[in-house]
Structure 1
Amino acid sequence: MTTMNLSTSASGSALTVRDPWALVPSLGNLDAYISAVNRIPMLTAEQETSLARRLRASGDLQAAGQLVLSHLRLVVSISRQYLGYGLPHGDLIQEGNVGLMKAVKRFDPEQGVRLVSYAMHWIKAEIHEYILKNWRMVKVATTKAQRKLFFNLRSMKQNMKSDAVDADTHRGTLTQSEVDNVASMLNVKREDVLEMETRLSGGDVALEPQTDDGEESYAPIAYLADSHHEPTEVIEAQHRDWLASDGIAMALDVLDDRSRRIVEERWLKVNDDSSGGMTLHELASEYGVSAERIRQIEVAAMKKMRKALATAA
């Protein structure tokens, strides 16, 4: 086991740690880590100032390590405030530790501020960034106002619900007056409040079907895909347009006059009353043949037209 030597000079101005990182277990569960960092001694103001001056003067990594170690419990404490976002506590602590190290690197002891006060901003900033990147697949907050709402709106809604006269009947969504109140308290636009409430109430939806039972699932990819510029769809659309114009005209040209008129009357003519062209019996009466004969001519004409269109395609 690595030996440690924690000692303070007679003046009480320095803390010496032979191997400071041995205080924190490298392996083990999260509870063991938290227990270990809570046992690390706190620094006095004089010790903190002395170590910070050594770090700024000569880049003393030993001094930086002791400053970080003595504030690991602060990271644990702050990270607990963000457990409601469903992300692993260990990851929150890890990101907070990154913020702590950034704070130690930039800390100026001559400003008259304790490191604990200075580091809180950096720790929270790193945790906030981690939550925003990992809480959802799609980033829910990008602007300053959206970030402010993301980290405050849920707790404010809970407080409003608990303060309501009839909490059981309080709606899940904010009322107009509550929206105005939130916007005023956070100094944001009421439109931003409404938009963030909508974002927080929604959830991630997989674009692709997630079922493995072989049955088709109606996933968003089925109705979000834009097929207008898909090559096959474009070619088919062009072919349909050609059939509806030049193709039909070309196919009609291969017919004799009687066959052409029968096809036009049966399939292509639309009267003002939308009743369509002539019936089989009307055409039969005009040409002095039976309705069955008109039907046979029509069938033969359609076959010729399809053959002509297939050859042209």
Structure 2
Amino acid sequence: MRLKLVPDNTAFDFFRFARFTFGASCVAMVVSLVLFFMVGLNFGIDFRGGTTIRTESTSSVDVAAYRAALQPLNLGDVSITQVFDPSFGPEKNVAMVRIQAQEGEEAISAETTATIETALQAVDPTITFPSVESVGPKVSGELVQTAFLAVGTSLIAILFYIWLRFEWQFAVGAVAALFHDVILTIGIFAAFQIKFDLTTIAAILTIIGYSINDTVVIFDRLRENLIKFKKMPLRDVMNVSVNETLSRTVMTSGTTLIALIALLVLGGDVIRGFVFAITWGIVVGTYSSVYVAKNIVLFLGVNREEKKDPLAGTQFANAEKQQ
């Protein structure tokens, strides 16, 4: 016996509510862009600038106690993480305390640093500050530009790959779905003012990779079925293709979400933003693969004339098979 989350030979009509689903996606993207430009993102220390303090002590690091000691100081966004290294002995316990840039200051003043040290020494008298480093607004601004450039470059690279592997209609559909996923992720971060930092950018790049993988699986099956069902209308071929890959989609997304939800609930504040971004991205990525990418391809149409290599979108489609 084997577990079946999806029955064999499903025949769902994924185009039945196409106008509603595609229209809802367009509205959600517009709302997300409005939130991004009108409300803005709650940038973390990486993008706003701030100070990183390395602490060392002979006692074990208590992140919750450190955070409680710094909370009355009203320093704004404070991130505390314990540093693990196999080379550290039992007498060397290290933590990184990251504090957002204070109003009107390039870096926190010596007086503020002394106040922080006094507050933490009340928790652990052996604590010291071996290093204090600051990131100014200029550097943080460059990080913002570099982060968004990384996302944009990845989308362009994927567009080029899908065009080589399939046809340009598939490339446009795939990248439209990826834009949908990225914009909706940014929109929900703007709406709920969840901290947006470099780990969120890493999550968005992960979302892009996951979403395009799901889309390529459906497109591969669609390309095969276009040859198999030459006389069947394109809409029906697409429905058949999505139904044939539905079990794989549900299993992959479902098992991934189980692990992510566990991390979201039990992982703590340090990784919560990162895990939330990926969890949200898995949901919208699966949705866009089924309801956005293929709708774009249906709208643009596909050249169904038989090619010399019936599975090839371009001369590069089967490059990995030719090696």
What TM bracket, shorter-length normalisation?
under 0.3
- Which has the greater radius of gyration? 1
The structure where strand makes up a greater share of residues is 2
TM normalised by structure 2 equals 0.23
- TM-score calculated relative to the size of structure 1: 0.23
